Amino acid sequence: MNKRFPEGFLWGGSTAANQVEGAYNEGGRGLATSDFARLVDAETRKREGGFEEREPHNAATKGMLADMKAHPEHWEFPKRRGIDFYHTYKEDIALFAEMGFKVFRMSISWSRILPNGDDEIPNEEGLQFYDDVFDELHRYGIEPLVTLSHFDTPLHLAEEYGGFLSRHTVKAFEHYARIVLNRYKEKVRYWLTFNEINNVLSNPFTSSGLIFDGPVNPLGQNSYIGHWQEKFQAVHNQFVASALAVKACHEIAPDAKIGNMLCRLENYAESARPEDQLQVLFEDHFNWFFTDVQAKGEYPYYMKRFFDENHIHINMEEDDMDNIREGKVDFITISYYMTYIMRYKGDTVPKPTGRLVSDLKNPYLPKSEWGWTVDPIGFRITLNHIYDRYHLPIFISENGLGAVDHVEEDGRIIDDYRIDYLRQHVEQLHEAIEDGVDVFGYAWWGPIDLVSSGTSEMYKRYGMIYVDLDDHGSGTGKRSRKKSFFYYKKVIASNGADLENDIAY
Ligand code: BGP
């Protein structure tokens, strides 16, 4: 069947400032939590007894942070160098344009605009950098879609205020959001508030800016599980901050649209046992919860029991719920990578699992080298679930495959596995659109190789554009086109109608 995507469908790619920009101490930028994300490569995992096939998060505890500051020579922080996009953005955007991108999803580094996160006066050099990036995108007719906060809270706010545990950070975020909305209102039509806001449940070092002391697992990381009181309080404060940004956007740039960003976790029951299905329901609630609040403007009924039985008390200010109600998002965005298997855990009330990669394997699905299942049909299922629940337009802000690439002697990278992944997901996306789901764009995660969020590796590559840099920053940094570059270019040129992998490369 010939695939038909809606006219004007926004094909493109997605990145985050902390994974591409580098230049962490240039242009007046202040430190961010992501500058302390250490490299957790295969060697580290082996040395420290890492979990096989489970991705560890390179988060730092307070104790680690102190050591990282005192002895930076003991650590490797690949996000500090990224892929040097701060200096190469023109070359990189030209390559995106060559692929035919209509949209580029990126984030602004908060600490580039406000070095401490809460400065009154913004850093003009930081503001100018994004002006230049947006101008470059517009030169090629590429629409920027901009995340306000993608896993890089200013360090000062994280250390001094506990990140979003404090209302101070909410105020600082609103101030920051207003500055960039005002500055870029003529250049940016699509905004997102917090990247994968739900990831606070599986990784303490996200946009929440929370840094905990122990307990730490053998990898020297925070426990994935627990700290519910702090996490849900920080999340509540982020809901308020997000709603204030939505309201500010509607006021400052009435023609712009602003959305949420959920790491969508689609769950299957391990068996037809009703208990397993109940576990799916529990897990689903911990995923829907975030979008329920951001899209429906109220706390869903099912959280009350979880909060009560776990003695979680959310401190709210008087106008919080009004703001949340008035600050509903205009559209939904998700990242979609994999699906999960659920087995009943014996609880009568839900408890979040707190893991990014499931312990249980789905025998029907292949998985990536990092243990992430590949499930294109799950993509269609999840899109239907989301649309059914919210009836809002959907943008796919992330989907992609992290893989090890092999460079041939002649310099080519024949990444048919990436092409297969893309083709299968675009096929299912098309099915979802045919089902009636309103999807207006698709951004491939990491169209150019970048530093991994979870492990800070370069070795885990997502790109259609190869970047000659290894985990330790060695290499020329040179960009080259993989086979998938030409495939995606063809997909975009045909507006998704031609998905055949017949690329001569
Ligand atoms: C999402 C993040 C991205 C990104 C992606 C892939 O969770 O929003 O920042 O990196 O996952 O994850 P990783 O880089 O760990 O492979």
- 505 C-beta neighbours (distance < 10 Å), count: 14
Q: Is the CB of 16 under 6 A from ligand 1?
A: yes
- C-alpha 454 to ligand 1 mean position (Å): 6
- 8 C-beta neighbours (distance < 10 Å), count: 9
Is 196 part of the annotated catalytic residue set? yes
Q: Is the CB of 106 under 6 A from ligand 1?
A: no
Is 174 part of the annotated catalytic residue set? no
- Pair of tokens at residue 493: 């040129």
Q: Between residues 352 and 37, which one has the greater pLDDT?
A: 37
Question: Residue 246 above 90 pLDDT?
Answer: yes
Compute the distance between CA of residue 274 and CA of residue 280 in angstroms, rounded to an integer: 10
Q: Pocket of ligand 1, candidates 398, 421, 456, 457: which has the most ligand atoms within 8 Å of its Cβ, to mutate?
A: 398
pLDDT recorded at residue 41: 84
- Is 115 within 8 Å of 108 (Cβ atoms)? no
Parallel, antiparallel or unpaired: strands 439-445 and 262-263: unpaired
- Is 234 within 8 Å of 210 (Cβ atoms)? yes
Question: Residue 87 above 80 pLDDT?
Answer: yes
Q: Which entry of 21, 136, 196, 457 is annotated as an active-site residue?
A: 196
Q: Between residues 313 and 230, which one has the greater pLDDT?
A: 313
Q: What pairs with residue 12 in β-bridges?
A: 103, 443
pLDDT recorded at residue 60: 64
Note the pLDDT tens digit of each residue in 94-105. 999 999 999 999
Question: Residue 392 above 80 pLDDT?
Answer: yes
Average pLDDT over residues 286-295: 97
Return the closest-CA partner of residue 451 out of 149, 28, 34, 50. Answer: 34
Q: Between residues 225 and 370, which one has the greater pLDDT?
A: 370
Helix axes 376-390, 416-435, angle to 10 degrees: 30
Q: Pocket of ligand 1, candidates 149, 453, 459: which has the most ligand atoms within 8 Å of its Cβ, to mutate?
A: 453
Angle at CA of residue 6, ends 4 and 8, nearest 5°: 125
- C-alpha 174 to ligand 1 mean position (Å): 25
Closest atom of ligand 1 to 199 CA is 7
Q: Between residues 76 and 355, which one has the greater pLDDT?
A: 76
Average pLDDT over residues 482-504: 97
Average pLDDT over residues 396-415: 98
Note the pLDDT tens digit of each residue in 177-188. 999 999 999 999
pLDDT over 70 percentage in the chain: 91
Question: Residue 159 above 80 pLDDT?
Answer: yes
Question: Residue 114 above 50 pLDDT?
Answer: yes
pLDDT recorded at residue 182: 98
- Is 305 within 8 Å of 327 (Cβ atoms)? no
Closest atom of ligand 1 to 372 CA is 16
pLDDT recorded at residue 357: 62
Question: Residue 56 above 60 pLDDT?
Answer: no
Residue nearest to atom 15 of ligand 1 (CA): 454
Average pLDDT over residues 32-57: 70
Residue nearest to atom 2 of ligand 1 (CA): 453
Residue nearest to atom 3 of ligand 1 (CA): 453
Question: Residue 407 above 50 pLDDT?
Answer: yes
Note the pLDDT tens digit of each residue in 421-443. 999 999 999 999 999 999 999 99
Which of helix, strand or coil describes residue 277?
helix
Which of helix, strand or coil describes residue 212?
coil
- In which band, very low, low, confident or very high, does the pLDDT at 220 lie, cut at 50, 70 and 90? very low
Q: Which entry of 136, 270, 398, 457 is annotated as an active-site residue?
A: 398
Question: Residue 252 above 50 pLDDT?
Answer: yes
Compute the distance between CA of residue 179 and CA of residue 176 in angstroms, rounded to an integer: 5
pLDDT recorded at residue 216: 43
pLDDT recorded at residue 197: 95
